[in-house]
Structure 1
Amino acid sequence: MEEVKQSFQQEKENYKAVFFQKRTVCNRQSVYISGEIQKRIMQIVGVITGKQISIGNFIDNVLEEHLNTHNDVLSALYWEEMQKGVFDQPKEKNV
């Protein structure tokens, strides 16, 4: 049981190190998310970090981790679509 507690404690520390780190965000862009998700993230980040990390930092960290974790699949999907070329695009339907 103690091993499980230690393992979970380590998992929490790893999570904090990856997702709750300050970072410099250059070339900012606006992105829209649902109000419900924004409220949840605001509450989580505010409470856990004592408002030391912005919502934008957290979202940037989450997206970077997602892109890194799924890089192989995303690359394969990307290249599959790129290989179709311009001439293999579906024809537009007349409405």
Structure 2
Amino acid sequence: MKEVKQPLQQTASKEQEDYKAVFLKKGTVCNRQSVYISGDTQKRIYQIVGVITGKQVSIGSFIDNVLEHHLNSYKEVLSTLYREEIQKGIINPPKENEE
């Protein structure tokens, strides 16, 4: 059987559209909370998101989209790590300093 390969440009275009659909979509950030990121990271995000979306998507929406994707992508790993840490505290409570 012959393997059908998509042209590199078509694959790149699909990746770009997928990226835009996931990360560069407008959203409303409800129940807002302040978080701090480095100034350099903020500048990079501002430049990238501002240029690509024509300033139609906010930095907050982009960061919220990235974090939501990350949490969904790694939910099993995060759940396992979380359960392991919770069990450590319940089964083996920390020892008090004996002085």
Verify same fold: TM over 0.5: yes
Q: 1:70 aligns with which of 63, 68, 74?
A: 74
Q: 1:37 aligns with which of 34, 41, 44?
A: 41
When Rg is computed on C-alpha atoms for both structures, the one with the higher figure is: 2
Percent of paired sites with the same residue = 65
**After superposition, what is the alpha-carbon deviation per residue over 1:35-81, rounded to whole angstroms, capped at 9, x for unaligned?**
00000000001000000000000000000000111111111000000
Distance 1:15 1:86, change over 3 A: same
The aligned amino acid for 1:37 is T
Distance 1:51 1:92, change over 3 A: farther
Q: What is the aligned residue count?
A: 94
**Distance in 2, Cα, partners of 1:2 & 1:87:** 54
Gapped runs of 5+ residues in structure 2? none
TM score, norm. by length of structure 1: 0.89
What is the CA-CA distance between 1:87 and the residue it aligns to? 6.3
**Distance in 1, Cα, partners of 2:24 & 2:66:** 9
TM score, norm. by length of structure 2: 0.85
- Quick check: which one's helix share is greater? 1
What is the CA-CA distance between 1:85 and the residue it aligns to? 2.4
The 5 Å alignment of 1:1-95 reads: 3-86=7-90, 88-91=92-95
Q: CA RMSD in A?
A: 1.9
Gapped runs of 5+ residues in structure 1? none
